[in-house]
């Protein structure tokens, strides 16, 4: 049985991502985009969540490739970058199976990846569009209240911050945060010299996302 037939077989057996595991991994992708950007972001977010919202996340995030079966070990994947993104058909199939089996992917546009990302997401869910989340979505009130929706952390093109989602069977399986740059706000203070209130806002929104995945 080859690798992708094995994945399909496991999915048909209703294998789901283990909900008891509080693990987050950075998603490594091809295409030349800097998937490794914001290296201090996730460790800082994890520390904030463990200290403030009662999670017990592994303090060191993993790294996993899109096409690797090991993505099924992580209930939460985080993806970021500035540029090109390319998924092969096999990688898109692996990611789709992961999301349909209970996984969650947060994509935070660090500036410039949006047009490439939209094209590649069409391979993952060919008949499903990104849908903008309204400010009344529970993810904006999970732990901290963001009455206006997604906060703006860094300015790029003067556009408003937007949160988009993909749903499977009424479950939010993918969150794409655009023109917000949450990850920059999670970084060590000296990286971007953001004032404390801006970093706190970014971390609180990140905590809402983490809570939405692990506590719902």
The string of pLDDT tens digits covering residues 32-64 is 889 999 999 999 999 999 999 999 999 999 999
Question: Tokens at residue 72, please?
Answer: 């099924």
Question: Tokens at residue 78, please?
Answer: 């985080």
What residues have CB less than 8 Å from 14, skipping those under 6 apart?
none
Question: Tokens at residue 67, please?
Answer: 């096409």
pLDDT of 20 higher than 60: no
CB 174 within 8 A of CB 100: no
112-122 average pLDDT score: 93
Confidence (pLDDT) at 161: 95
Across all residues in the chain, what is the average pLDDT?
A: 90
Kindly report the length of the chain.
216
Nearest C-alpha neighbor of 206 from the set 34, 119, 80: 80
Domain positions in the chain are 20-215
Confidence category of residue 18, pLDDT binned at 50, 70, 90: low
Cα torsion for 122, 127, 132, 133, to the nearest 10°? -120
**Angle between helix 114-124 and 89-100 (nearest 10):** 70
What is residue 126's three-state secondary structure? coil
pLDDT of 14 higher than 50: no
Under CATH, to which class is 20-215 assigned? Answer: alpha beta
pLDDT of 66 higher than 70: yes
Phi, psi for 47 (deg, rounded to 5): -65, -40
Angle CA(91)–CA(97)–CA(100) in degrees, nearest 5? 140
Confidence category of residue 112, pLDDT binned at 50, 70, 90: confident
63-91 average pLDDT score: 95
Q: Give the count of alpha carbons within 13 A of 54, CB side only.
A: 5
The CA distance from 44 to 107, in Å, is 17
Q: Give the count of alpha carbons within 13 A of 131, CB side only.
A: 14
Q: What pLDDT digit, counting tens, does each position of 136-182 carry?
A: 999 999 999 999 999 999 776 778 999 999 999 999 999 999 999 99
pTM, 2 dp? 0.90
CB 185 within 8 A of CB 194: yes
The CA distance from 214 to 164, in Å, is 19
Confidence (pLDDT) at 122: 96
What residues have CB less than 8 Å from 55, skipping those under 6 apart?
22, 46, 49, 210, 211, 214
Query: Which is more confidently placed, 188 or 191?
Result: 188
């Amino acid at each position: 049985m080859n690798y992708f037939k094995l994945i399909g077989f496991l999915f048909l057996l209703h294998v789901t991502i283990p909900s008891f595991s509080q693990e987050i991994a950075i998603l490594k992708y091809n295409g030349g985009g800097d998937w490794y950007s914001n290296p201090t972001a996730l460790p800082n977010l994890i520390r904030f969540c463990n200290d403030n919202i009662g999670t017990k996340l592994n303090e060191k995030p993993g790294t996993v490739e899109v096409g690797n079966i090991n993505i099924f070990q992580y209930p939460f994947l985080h993806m970021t970058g500035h540029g090109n993104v390319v998924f092969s058909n096999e990688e898109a199939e692996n990611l789709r199976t992961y999301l349909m089996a209970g996984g969650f992917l947060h994509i935070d546009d660090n500036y410039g990846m949006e047009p490439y990302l939209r094209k590649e997401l069409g391979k993952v869910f060919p008949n499903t569009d990104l849908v903008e989340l309204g400010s009344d979505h529970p993810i904006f009130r999970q732990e901290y209240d963001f009455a206006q929706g997604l906060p703006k952390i860094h300015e790029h093109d003067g556009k408003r911050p937007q949160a988009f989602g993909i749903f499977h069977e009424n479950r939010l399986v993918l969150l794409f945060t655009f023109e917000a740059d949450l990850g920059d706000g999670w970084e060590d203070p000296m990286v971007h010299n953001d004032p404390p209130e801006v970093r706190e806002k970014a971390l609180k929104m990140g905590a809402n996302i983490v809570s939405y995945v692990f506590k719902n």
